[in-house]
Amino acid sequence: MGQAKAYAVMSPTTPFQPWTFDRREPGDKDVRIEIAFCGICHSDLHQARDEWGGSKFPMVPGHEISGRVTQVGKKVRKFKAGDLAGVGCLVDSCRKCENCRRGLEQHCAGPVAFTYNGFEKDGKTPTQGGYSSHVVVDEAFVLKIAAGAPLERTAPLLCAGITTYSPLKRFGTRKGTRVGVLGLGGLGHMGVKLAAAMGAEVVVLSGSAAKKADGKRLGAHDFVLTSDAAAMAKSAGRLDLIVDTVSAPHDIGAALGLLKIGGTLALVGASPKPLELPAFPLIMARRQVAGSLIGGIAETQEMLDFCAKKKVFADVEVIPPAGINAAYDRLVKGDVRYRFSIDLSKL
Ligand code: NAP
Ligand code: ZN
Ligand code: ZN
102 C-alpha vs ligand 3 centroid, how far in Å?
9
Q: What angle in degrees, to the nearest 10, is found between the helix axes of 297-310 and 186-197?
A: 70
Asked if CATH classification 3.40.50.720 holds for the domain at 161-291, the reply, yes or no, is yes
pLDDT, residue 2, reads 87
pLDDT, residue 22, reads 97
pLDDT, residue 209, reads 97
Q: In the chain, which residues have pLDDT < 50?
A: none
72 C-alpha vs ligand 1 centroid, how far in Å?
36
Residues of the chain with CATH 3.90.180.10: 2-158+295-346
Residues of the chain with CATH 3.40.50.720: 161-291
96 C-alpha vs ligand 1 centroid, how far in Å?
33
Secondary element (H or E) of residue 327: helix 324-332
CATH class of 2-158+295-346: alpha beta
pLDDT, residue 212, reads 97
pLDDT, residue 126, reads 98
Nearest atom in ligand 1 to 207's CA: 48
111 C-alpha vs ligand 3 centroid, how far in Å?
7
Q: Are 290 and 268 in contact (CB under 8 A)?
A: no
pLDDT digits (tens, 9 = 90+) for 42-74: 999 999 999 999 999 999 999 999 999 999 999
Q: Which residues pair with 3 in a beta bridge?
A: 22
Ligand nearest to the backbone CA of 187: 1
pTM (global) more than 0.85: yes
Ligand 1 surroundings by CB, under 6 angstroms: 41-43, 46, 159, 163, 183-188, 206-208, 211, 245-248, 250, 268-270, 292-294, 331, 334
One DSSP character per residue, 38-101 reads EE--HHHHHHHTTSSS---SSB-----EEEEEEEE-TT--S--TT-EEEE-SEEE--S-SHHHH
